[in-house]
């Protein structure tokens, strides 16, 4: 549509140029749409996005050393750990001033427990020094007094840790999450027996893959059956899929706890049928088997539903055409039907995988020690060990993994096409 | 596959029935764990398995004592009250914000739509443990950790993506000329929304609200971190029960919750049938 005819500008009835009027209308429409979305957007930004950003920030945040010992940090920056000797009197004098204030505000124990994550023993060092600080001679010399209070103040290693964590931001938590640490010669891996996080990430990935595959194995036939049955029957059978989907996660987890226990229903049944004897009851819970069985059951509907919605769109005439051209049942399925169902497999598999790598409740309840995921470790650091920085950096790594997968999911399915129920 | 043709070979015949048996077994796997807790919740003993009396259908093997415990134990009652106080408020917040935003998102010109959509859907994508961790850190900074409103706001945020998805799905089939017709007849946008748009998208809103409700009602990870003892909900109580002092009362609670799920599922199914019927009636 052109807006000019013979050089004349088209106008609306009240004499304004049409183009301007349309532009105004469009702007108003955009504004209206935005005003409708704004309340929720602000709500989600405050209640959800801000906490996530806060967590990302916390994974590198390290203001505690600089806040508690400000003067020491400045003086210590001039010290060279390669000298092999503890810093000189100036640093100790600054430490004395800082410690007096810190003990007064009782912040020195917090600093101690924070630095204790990096090197054990520092927590007690700070507590001990805190008790002795009042008895020290205000005029110095401080170096001997501090070393007299605790020999650790004479160690190069103690000061190295302090200097290393002086900056306000640290990669220490992330190094820890990657089982690495900063040694004398830069970044190095921790000893084999202390490498727990990479191992846990590996196990989380491995178990998630196993769960995704078993969901696919069990979900594909069901989706295929539901898609090929007449609508009336398939709607009825669909209830069997939707009921578990709608049932509380904890209900299903407790059901598996009841079923899989050594004195539980399955073991009792197997003993009753004489398949196993009473002494040989199977251990199916509090290990990886328990996690895999329970989580496959919990996530199976998330595999069946996307598969079903894709399979329902596959026209049966393709398979019929293949058969009329001489394909046997298997060839018709494998060469014609299966390739068309691949988008459904992709969608379902990624969905199940995303959900499973972040799972917490079920592994916690039926996983024992060998079946727990990285999320359980994050929860442990938040509520038990109180090493929030490490929890935040582990969480950040997990979040990055999920987001990458989600981008893939978005490319395959599109978030707009997510269907529920 | 739907039916066996009369000319099927014996091999096809065998496979046809084998496949049905396999599917039957998978359906059994899906539904059995949920069904098995129903009879077990009437166990007269404190066992998690069928007793001899139960298997011989002796009335003495069955009792309501676990239900009795649930309805008299103050811990469980407090948890029930908390759940009932938290979930509806969170649902209301999520549904109100979500419906309005979905109407906005379905307009034809929305600036930065993909980015906005990504932010609004994110509570559904981010693993719960990460949401819980982030909220724990952030809400303790602003003093909401351990409060009723902290839990409600968190649950509302987790529920909104479901409302957005279900309501936008209903709005896809919405005829925009109805809004124009109503406006041309002199209705203002608010009247148009409540008199014209709302009645047509109500199934989407209701199913979104049900999703938001079940999200909050079943949620345990976030409440575990954000709540204090005063916000102990049913799932929380079940979680601690399963982890520590495992008591068969959990089975009674679980059975009641299965009943709630069945009720919710029925409502959703009726809604789906209604919208299918309506779609079948509208021409084109």
Q: Is the ipTM value over 0.90, yes or no?
A: no
Residue of A nearest to B95 (CA): A40
Residue-level pLDDT at B220: 92
pTM: 0.85
Interface test with B, best of A27, A255, A278 (most B CBs within 10 A): A255
B47 touches chain A (CB under 8 A): yes
Q: Which fold has domain B75-247?
A: MetI-like fold (1.10.3720)
Judging by beta carbons within 10 Å of its beta carbon (0-12, 13-18, 19+), is residue A45 exposed, middle or buried?
A: middle
Residues of A in contact with B128 (CB under 8 A): 358, 360
CB contact under 8 A, B136 and A382: yes
A297 touches chain B (CB under 8 A): yes
d(CA A283, CA A269): 14
The two structure tokens encoding residue A159: 């000061």
Q: Predicted confidence band at A252 (pLDDT cuts at 50, 70, 90)?
A: very high
Residue-level pLDDT at A339: 92
Mean pLDDT of chain A: 86
**Which span out of A57-61, A407-411, B30-34 was modeled with the highest average pLDDT?**
B30-34
Using alpha carbons, list the distances in angstroms from residue A235 to A125, A308, B4, B136: 68, 12, 20, 42
**A259-278 residues touching B, CB cutoff 8 A:** 259, 261, 263-265, 268
* Mean predicted confidence (pLDDT) in A325-339: 92
Residue-level pLDDT at B282: 45
Q: Predicted confidence band at A417 (pLDDT cuts at 50, 70, 90)?
A: low
CA triple A158-A161-A166, angle to 5 deg: 125
E strands present in B43-113: none
d(CA A266, CA A263): 8
Residue-level pLDDT at A392: 92
Q: Assess contact for A129 and A149: CB atoms under 8 A.
A: yes
B173 touches chain A (CB under 8 A): no
Task: Write out chain A in H/E/C secondary structure.
Answer: CCCEECCEECECCCCCEHHHHHHHHHHHHHHHHHHHHHHHHHHHHHHHHHHHHHHHHHCCECCHHHHHCHHHHHHHCCCCHHHCCCCCHHHHHHHHHHHHHHHHHCCHHHHHHHHHCCCCCHHHHHHHHHHHHHHCCCCCCHHHHHHHHCHHHHCHHHHHHHHHCCCCECCHHHHHHCCEEEECCEEEECCHHHCCHHHHHHHHHHHHHHHHHHHHHHHHHHHHHHHHCCHHHHHHHHHHHHHHHHCCHHHHHHHHHHHHCCCCHHHHHHHHCCCCCHHHCCCCCCCHHHHHHHHHHHHHHHHHHHHHHHHCCCCHHHHHHHHHCCCCHHHHHHHHHHHHHHHHHHHHHHHHHHHHHCCCHHHHHHCCCCCCCHHHHHHHHHHCCCCHHHHHHHHHHHHHHHHHHHHHHHHHCCHHHCCCC
Using alpha carbons, list the distances in angstroms from residue A9 to A20, A243, A304: 11, 63, 58
Q: Assess contact for A349 and A212: CB atoms under 8 A.
A: yes
Residues of B in contact with A385 (CB under 8 A): none
Of A52, A54, A251, the CB nearest to B126: A52
What number of CA atoms fall less than 13 Å from residue A276's CA on the CB side? 13
Residues of B in contact with A265 (CB under 8 A): 36, 40, 48-50
Assess whether pLDDT exceeds 50 at residue A347: yes
**Mean pLDDT lowest for which of A159-168, A177-186, A327-336?**
A177-186
CB contact under 8 A, B101 and A263: no
A404 touches chain B (CB under 8 A): no
Q: What is the DSSP annotation of B25-57? A: HHHHHHHHHHHHHHHHTTBSSS-SS--HHHHTT
Q: Which residue has the tokens 């029960």?
A: B241
A34 touches chain B (CB under 8 A): yes
**Mean pLDDT lowest for which of A9-13, A16-20, B65-69, B201-205?**
A9-13
CB contact under 8 A, B134 and A41: no
**Which span out of A143-147, A295-299, A381-385, B270-274 was modeled with the highest average pLDDT?**
A295-299
CB contact under 8 A, A365 and B162: no
Digit-coded pLDDT (tens) for A156-169: 888 888 888 888 88
Q: What is the pLDDT along chain B (284 residues), one digit of tens a residue?
A: 456 788 888 888 999 999 999 999 999 999 999 998 888 888 887 777 777 777 777 777 888 888 988 999 898 999 999 999 999 999 999 999 999 999 898 887 888 888 898 899 899 889 999 999 999 999 998 999 999 999 999 999 999 999 998 888 888 778 888 888 998 999 988 898 888 888 888 888 998 999 899 999 989 999 999 988 889 999 999 998 888 766 788 889 999 989 988 888 888 888 877 777 776 654 33
Residues of A in contact with B76 (CB under 8 A): none
Q: Residue A11 pairs with which residues in a beta bridge?
A: A17
Residue-level pLDDT at A2: 47
Positive or negative torsion for Cα A25, A30, A34, A37:
positive
Residues of B in contact with A354 (CB under 8 A): 125
Q: Which residues, including other chains, have CB under 8 Å from residue A371's CB and lie 6 or more apart?
A: A207, A286, A287, A288, A289, A290, A291, A292, A363
Q: How far is A193 from chain B (nearest CA, A)?
A: 27
* Mean predicted confidence (pLDDT) in A208-229: 95
DSSP state for residue B62 in the 8-state scheme: B
* Mean predicted confidence (pLDDT) in A245-265: 88
Q: Assess contact for A317 and A337: CB atoms under 8 A.
A: no
CB contact under 8 A, A240 and B30: yes
* Mean predicted confidence (pLDDT) in A269-277: 85
Closest CA to A421 of A311, A252, A304: A304
CB contact under 8 A, A421 and B207: yes
Residue-level pLDDT at A286: 87
Q: Assess contact for A377 and A197: CB atoms under 8 A.
A: yes
Percentage of chain A exceeding pLDDT 70: 96
Residue-level pLDDT at B280: 62
A406 touches chain B (CB under 8 A): yes
A333 touches chain B (CB under 8 A): no
B125 touches chain A (CB under 8 A): yes
DSSP state for residue B244 in the 8-state scheme: S
CB contact under 8 A, A54 and B127: no
CB contact under 8 A, A244 and B19: no
**A197-226 residues touching B, CB cutoff 8 A:** 218, 221-222, 224-225
Assess whether pLDDT exceeds 70 at residue A369: yes
The two structure tokens encoding residue B40: 């077990």
Q: Assess contact for A358 and A376: CB atoms under 8 A.
A: no
User: Quick count: other Cβ atoms within 10 Å of Cβ B137?
Assistant: 22
Residue-level pLDDT at A7: 60
CB contact under 8 A, A33 and B26: no
Q: Which residues, including other chains, have CB under 8 Å from residue A211's CB and lie 6 or more apart?
A: A292, A295, A296, A299, A352, A356
d(CA B34, CA B122): 30
Residue of B nearest to A223 (CA): B23
Is it true that domain A197-417 has CATH number 3.30.70.1230?
no
Residue of B nearest to A254 (CA): B242
Q: Predicted confidence band at A419 (pLDDT cuts at 50, 70, 90)?
A: low
Digit-coded pLDDT (tens) for B88-103: 999 999 999 999 999 8
Count contacts between A and B (CB, < 8 Å): 281
- Kindly calculate the radius of gyration of chain A based on its CA atoms and give it in whole angstroms: 32
Residue of B nearest to A376 (CA): B129
Residue of A nearest to B216 (CA): A248
- Kindly calculate the radius of gyration of chain B based on its CA atoms and give it in whole angstroms: 24
Digit-coded pLDDT (tens) for A184-213: 677 778 887 778 898 999 999 999 999 999
Domain limits, CATH 1.10.3720.10, in chain A:
197-417
Q: How far is B130 from chain A (nearest CA, A)?
A: 6
Digit-coded pLDDT (tens) for A84-117: 778 888 888 888 888 888 888 888 888 888 888 8
Closest CA to A25 of B109, B95, B205, B60: B109
Q: How far is B138 from chain A (nearest CA, A)?
A: 5
Q: Residue B62 pairs with which residues in a beta bridge?
A: B43
* Mean predicted confidence (pLDDT) in A349-355: 91
Residues of B in contact with A402 (CB under 8 A): 125-127, 130
Residue B245, SS3 per DSSP: coil
Residues of A in contact with B135 (CB under 8 A): 47-48, 51
Q: How far is A103 from chain B (nearest CA, A)?
A: 24
Of B104, B257, B268, the CB nearest to A251: B257
Letter string b/e over residues B46-63, b meaning 16 or more CB atoms within 10 A of that residue's CB: eebbbbeebeeeeeebbe
Q: Residue A8 pairs with which residues in a beta bridge?
A: A5
A178 touches chain B (CB under 8 A): no
Letter string b/e over residues A196-221, b meaning 16 or more CB atoms within 10 A of that residue's CB: ebeebbebbbebbebbbebbbebbbb
Q: Which residues, including other chains, have CB under 8 Å from residue A34's CB and lie 6 or more apart?
A: B104, B110, B111
Residues of A in contact with B247 (CB under 8 A): none
Residue-level pLDDT at A231: 85
Residue of B nearest to A239 (CA): B265
SS3 content of chain B, % helix, strand, coil (to 5): 80, 0, 20
Positive or negative torsion for Cα B134, B135, B137, B138:
positive
d(CA A292, CA A210): 7
CB contact under 8 A, B133 and A239: no
* Mean predicted confidence (pLDDT) in A246-254: 89
Domain limits, CATH 1.10.3720.10, in chain B:
75-247
Closest CA to A365 of A383, A379, A353: A379
Q: Assess contact for A135 and A96: CB atoms under 8 A.
A: no
């Amino acid at each position: 549509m052109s807006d000019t005819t013979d050089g004349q500008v088209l106008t609306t009835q009240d004499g304004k140029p049409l183009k301007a009027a349309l532009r105004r209308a469009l702007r108003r429409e955009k504004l209206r749409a935005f005003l409708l979305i704004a309340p929720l957007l602000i709500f989600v930004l405050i209640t959800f996005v801000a906490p996530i950003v806060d967590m990302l920030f916390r994974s590198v945040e390290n203001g505690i050393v600089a806040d508690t010992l400000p003067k020491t940090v400045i003086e210590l920056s001039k010290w060279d750990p390669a000298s092999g000797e503890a810093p000189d009197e100036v640093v100790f004098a600054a430490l004395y001033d800082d410690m007096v204030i810190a003990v007064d505000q009782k912040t020195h124990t917090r600093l101690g427990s924070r630095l204790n994550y990096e090197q054990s023993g520092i927590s007690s060092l700070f507590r001990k020094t805190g008790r002795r600080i009042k008895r020290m001679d205000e005029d110095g010399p401080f170096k001997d007094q501090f070393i007299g209070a605790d020999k650790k103040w004479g160690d190069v290693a103690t000061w190295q840790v302090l200097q290393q964590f002086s900056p306000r931001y640290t990669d220490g938590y992330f190094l820890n999450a990657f089982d690495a640490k900063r040694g004398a010669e830069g970044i190095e891996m921790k000893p084999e027996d202390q490498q727990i996080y990479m191992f846990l990430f590996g196990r989380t990935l491995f178990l998630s893959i196993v769960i995704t595959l078993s969901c696919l194995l069990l979900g594909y036939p069901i989706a295929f059956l539901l898609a090929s049955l007449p609508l009336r029957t398939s709607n009825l059978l669909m209830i069997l899929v939707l009921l578990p989907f709608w049932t509380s996660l904890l209900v299903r987890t407790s059901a598996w706890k009841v079923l899989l226990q050594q004195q539980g229903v399955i073991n009792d049944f197997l003993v009753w049928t004489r398949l196993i004897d009473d002494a040989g009851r199977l251990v199916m819970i509090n290990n990886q088997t328990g996690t895999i069985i329970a989580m496959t059951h919990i996530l199976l509907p998330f595999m069946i539903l996307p598969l079903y919605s894709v399979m329902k769109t596959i026209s049966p005439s393709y398979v019929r055409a293949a058969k009329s051209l001489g394909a046997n049942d298997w060839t018709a399925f494998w060469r014609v039907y299966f390739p068309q169902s691949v988008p459904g497999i992709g969608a379902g598999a990624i969905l199940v995988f995303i959900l499973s790598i972040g799972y917490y409740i079920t592994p916690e309840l039926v996983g024992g020690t060998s079946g727990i995921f990285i999320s359980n470790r994050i929860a442990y650091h938040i509520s038990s060990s109180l090493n929030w920085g490490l929890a935040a950096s582990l969480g950040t790594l997990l979040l990055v993994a999920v987001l990458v997968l989600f981008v893939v999911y978005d490319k395959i399915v599109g978030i707009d096409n997510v269907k529920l129920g | 596959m739907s039916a066996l043709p009369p000319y099927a070979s014996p091999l096809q015949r065998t496979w046809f029935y084998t496949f049905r048996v396999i599917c039957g077994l998978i359906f059994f796997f899906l539904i059995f764990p949920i069904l098995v807790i129903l009879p077990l919740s009437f166990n007269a003993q404190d066992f998690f398995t069928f007793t001899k009396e139960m298997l011989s259908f002796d009335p003495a093997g069955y009792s309501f004592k676990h239900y009795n415990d649930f309805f008299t134990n103050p811990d469980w009652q407090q948890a029930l009250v908390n759940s009932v106080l938290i979930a509806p408020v969170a649902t209301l917040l999520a549904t109100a914000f979500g419906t309005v935003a979905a109407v906005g998102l379905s307009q034809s010109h929305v600036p930065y739509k993909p980015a906005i959509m990504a932010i609004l859907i994110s509570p559904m994508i981010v693993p719960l443990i990460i949401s819980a961790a982030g909220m724990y850190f952030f809400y303790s900074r602003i003093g909401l950790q351990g409060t009723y409103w902290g839990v409600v706001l968190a649950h509302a945020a987790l529920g909104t993506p479901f409302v957005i998805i279900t309501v936008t799905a209903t709005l896809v089939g919405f005829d925009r000329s109805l809004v124009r017709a109503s406006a041309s007849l002199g209705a203002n946008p608010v009247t148009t929304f409540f008199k014209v748009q709302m009645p047509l998208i109500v199934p989407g809103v209701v199913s979104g609200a049900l999703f938001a409700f079940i999200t909050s009602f079943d949620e345990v990870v976030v409440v575990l971190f954000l709540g204090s003892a005063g916000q102990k909900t049913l799932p929380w109580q079940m979680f601690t029960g399963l982890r520590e002092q495992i008591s068969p009362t959990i089975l009674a609670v679980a059975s009641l919750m299965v009943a709630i799920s069945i009720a919710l599922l029925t409502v959703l199914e009726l809604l789906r049938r209604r919208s299918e019927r309506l779609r079948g009636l509208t021409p084109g």
